[in-house]
Amino acid sequence: MADETPFILSQYGSLKELEKFARELPKIELHAHLNGSLSPETLQYLVDIKKEEKPHLTNFKIPKKRLDTINEFFLIFDFIYQLTDDEETVAYITEAVIRDFHKDGVKYLELRSTPRKNESKGMTGESYVRAIISTIQKFPSSECDIIVRLILSISRKDSLEEAMETADLAIKYKKAGVVGVDLCSDPSRGHIDNVKPAFVKAKSHGLKVTLHFGEIESNMLEHASMLTIPPDRVGHATYLDPYSRDYILSNKLPIEICMTSNVTCNTVKDYNEHHIKSFLSMEHPCCLGVSVSAVTPPSF
Ligand SMILES: CNc1ncnc2c1ncn2[C@@H]1O[C@H](COP(=O)(O)O)[C@@H](O)[C@H]1O
């Protein structure tokens, strides 16, 4: 949480008033990973209902601190994925996450999620996607004025066959609200070229493409290849080589900026040094997103 600086006091009266203003402001959220957006209450509820089946999960605590490296961050999903391992739970978290964003004043939400299989519970990549879509479609618009669309994520760990399956699902469910495909997961793993045909195929069917881009320095080696897809938005864009920086600026390629995630994962030193400053000074299109609220330390 920010300090009550002279600027906040003069503009809003108090930090509380600023929070109220920020919550009530109508917002769009374009970078929300479904399994990364679970509130502490939702996680606790899931631990409680799964504790007989998986007692080892009861003592797990999501670290609420700044991490040393981004790689540590992805271990958290080994825990979360054990909780969200069947269609019923996937539907439950979809509803919970939509309601939480709605409470925060979000009017247009693009949720993103990686289709996941679990043979022991009969969940397939397709039934995972259907569980999300049917929840979005059933969502009571009378109760909640929020528009929700879905992006299907392709993991850097995926084989080309798995990535193609996700692209095919995105194409199949385009009319049901899937608007695009994303490349995500641990940026130190894999290479865009292993899964690139899936993005090219999705694009050729009219879907949009967003890519986690330059989250760590070594990602710069992939940028030239990524930009030939070409993406419609990029996420993070923390480390940019001169060519990709120039491409992004001259094409006005929108950047999904996730400041808290960057600082928490230690890919950006602190908020004052965040690259959003230089992009905004050039009036470059940036949208602020949460990325992953489940790990956001309350004191940041
Ligand atoms: C912090 N920066 C990040 N960079 C890259 N990928 C990230 C990420 N944060 C989250 N994910 C991706 O989102 C998945 C969880 O949501 P879904 O299971 O898809 O709903 C994670 O497993 C990871 O692949």
Strand bridging mode 208-213 / 147-155: unpaired
**Which of 156, 157, 184 to mutate for ligand 1's pocket (most ligand atoms within 8 Å of CB)?**
184
Which residue segment(s) compose the domain that 113 sits in? Answer: 28-288
CA of 70 to the centre of ligand 1 (A): 11
- 260-279 pLDDT, tens digit per residue, is 999 999 999 999 999 999 99
- Residue list, ligand 1 pocket, CB within 6 Å: 33-36, 73, 77, 113-114, 153, 155, 184-185, 212, 215, 261, 265, 291-292
- 217-237 pLDDT, tens digit per residue, is 999 999 999 999 999 999 999
Whether 75 maps to a domain, the answer reads yes
The residues annotated with a catalytic role in the active site are 215
User: So what's the pLDDT on residue 300?
Assistant: 37
Is 173 in a helix, a strand, or coil?
coil
When pLDDT is cut at 50, 70 and 90, the band that residue 63 belongs to is confident
CA of 230 to the centre of ligand 1 (A): 21
Q: What percent of the chain has pLDDT over 70?
A: 96
CATH number of the domain encompassing residue 241? 3.20.20.140
CA of 261 to the centre of ligand 1 (A): 11
Stated as kind and residue range, the H or E segment containing 277 is helix 276-281
Whether 18 maps to a domain, the answer reads no
Residue identifier of the C-alpha nearest atom 6 of ligand 1: 185
Whether 269 maps to a domain, the answer reads yes
Whether 300 maps to a domain, the answer reads no
> How many domains, in total, are found in the chain?
1
User: So what's the pLDDT on residue 296?
Assistant: 59
What's the distance, Cα to Cα, between the start and end of the chain in Å?
Answer: 5
Is 76 in a helix, a strand, or coil?
helix
CB 234 within 8 A of CB 211: yes
Q: How many residues does the chain have?
A: 300
CB 232 within 8 A of CB 210: yes
Whether 2 maps to a domain, the answer reads no
Residue identifier of the C-alpha nearest atom 7 of ligand 1: 185
CB 32 within 8 A of CB 291: yes
Whether 296 maps to a domain, the answer reads no
Question: Quick one: DSSP state of residue 118?
Answer: B
The contacts of residue 154 (CB under 8 Å, 6+ apart) are 114, 162, 163, 166, 167, 181, 182, 183, 184, 195, 198, 199
Residue identifier of the C-alpha nearest atom 8 of ligand 1: 185
CA of 199 to the centre of ligand 1 (A): 18
Give the DSSP per-residue string, 186-246.
-TTS--HHHHHHHHHHHHHTT-EEEEEESSSGGGGGGHHHHHTS--SEEEE--S--HHHHH
Q: Is the pLDDT of residue 45 over 70?
A: yes
Strand partners, 255: 234, 286
> Interface pTM (ipTM) of the complex?
0.99
CA-CA distance, 151 to 48, in Å (whole number)? Answer: 29
21's tokens:
């203003």
